[in-house]
Amino acid sequence: MNQIEVNQSNNSSFNLPKATVLLIKRDPFQRLGLCKILSQQSSLTIYDCADSFTGLRMSQRFQPDVIILDLEILVNSNFKLHEQLKEQSPKSKLIVCGQQIERETVLKVYSISASYYLEDGDISKLLLAIVNAYEGSIYVHPQTSYLLSSNLLLPVSSTGLDSLAPKELDALKHLITGKDYQEIGQSMCISSHTVRNYISGIVKKLGLKNRTQAVVVAVCGGLLAEAQ
């Protein structure tokens, strides 16, 4: 477990925020390489670790603005780790990093309202993902954007969101911020059963297969910015 205090600056064109970043990545060479690069950004303070257990402890202790999480670790937790991280550090924004562009995996990442950094060697994309995450937006890597638009073949465009009733839109906005049905119900002062009915109605109305596709449509339609 290393703490890297940033004391260097570099000529990045990004206006990076003053933020704390926690990197959870298993491979030691990749982790140290990313730490070295990120540590060159004078506005960032970087913490890192190699496993989920340590990551949960560090997220609770440091309350990072942004968590960069290894896709392999997330998948091995059956995508439950993001909920555990949220419990330990509710305000942290999540970026998942990996080398996969398999459709279902990418959809699951976006369905938990996380950004996805495809490790293609272009560090500027990771810096942009940090900026977007810090500001409350989801970063969509160009290659995964192409995957969503060209290969997902959703039967509805983002403009189909206009057909939703105000309560349905409200429920969908809460859903894409990572809340579960009970949390959405508390925010909207309705029961979790009613929330479930709203989401089921959204899926049916938009001609989708499941709530994951509904989240993707919502994110592509710009609802996340409105939900912040």
Residue 227 has what pLDDT? 57
Structure tokens at 184: 């959405």
Q: DSSP states of 38-61 as a string?
A: HTTSTTEEEEEESSHHHHHHHHHH
Q: Which residue has the tokens 């257990």?
A: 53
> What is the reported pTM?
0.69
Q: What is the pLDDT of residue 18?
A: 94
Residue of higher predicted confidence among 33 and 158:
33
pLDDT digits (tens, 9 = 90+) for 15-28: 788 999 999 999 99
Q: What is the mean pLDDT of residues 38-67?
A: 96
| Pairing of the two strands 115-118 and 66-70 | unpaired
Ramachandran sector of residue 153 (left: φ over 0; alpha: ψ -120 to 50; beta: rest): left
What backbone phi and psi angles, to 5 degrees, belong to 47? -120, 150
pLDDT at 8 exceeding the cut of 60: no
Q: Which of 84-98, 101-115, 153-167 has the highest mean pLDDT?
A: 84-98
Q: How far apart are CA 65 and CA 105, in angstroms?
A: 24
Could you tell me if residue 92 is left (phi over 0), alpha (psi between -120 and 50 degrees) or otherwise beta? beta
Q: Which of 41, 44, 36 is nearest to 62 (CA)?
A: 44
Domains in the chain (CATH in brackets) are 2-150 (3.40.50.2300), 155-227 (1.10.10.10)
Higher model confidence: residue 48 or residue 5?
48
Give the per-residue pLDDT at 70: 97
CA 211 → CA 53, 54, 133, 200, 218, distances in Å? 29, 31, 22, 8, 10
Query: What's the confidence (pLDDT) of residue 133?
Result: 87
At residue 146 the predicted structure's pLDDT band, cuts being 50, 70 and 90, is low
pLDDT tier, 5 (very low <50, low <70, confident <90, very high otherwise): very low
Nearest to 199 by CA among 164, 147, 224, 159: 164
Tokens found for residue 76: 């091995």
